[in-house]
Amino acid sequence: MAQGLIEVERKFLPGPGTEERLQELGGTLEYRVTFRDTYYDTPELSLMQADHWLRRREDSGWELKCPGAAGVLGPHTEYKELTAEPTIVAQLCKVLRADGLGAGDVAAVLGPLGLQEVASFV
């Protein structure tokens, strides 16, 4: 049986004084990463209501997060991450019930699918 990689993401909220405490323990900042994520959806937020998240990461490309466990309703803790643009377009068309757009790049279907920027974070 083939085994793939599983990404586990956990977010931490450091408390006051965490940076100073790490420095006291000998920790140093090796590098800082800054990026911009821009999220797209319909004006009615159809993707988000279907628990799908389309984003473009600056200098990285498109990603669509989709629910990972079939048949589970509500917010998910497990997602499939699609990064191949034809696969993203196919899933967008399925979720938004739009046929006939074909497979192509994501930017080309934003307008026809009624997708627009809804949030941008740095």
Q: What is the pLDDT of residues 19-42, one digit of tens each?
A: 899 999 999 989 888 999 999 999
CA 2 from centre of chain: 25
Is 76 a residue whose pLDDT tops 60? Answer: no
Write down the pLDDT at residue 119: 97
- How much is the average pLDDT of 50-78? 81
Task: Please say whether the beta carbons of 96 and 111 come within 8 A.
Answer: no
| Domains along the chain with CATH numbers | 41-121 (2.40.320.10)
Residue 74's region, left for phi above 0, alpha for psi from -120 to 50, else beta, is left
Contacts of 83-86 spanning 24+ positions with Cβ under 8 A: 85/61
pTM over the 0.85 mark: no
Question: Cβ atoms within 10 A of the Cβ of 42, count?
Answer: 15
Q: Which helix (H) or strand (E) element contains residue 57?
A: strand 53-57
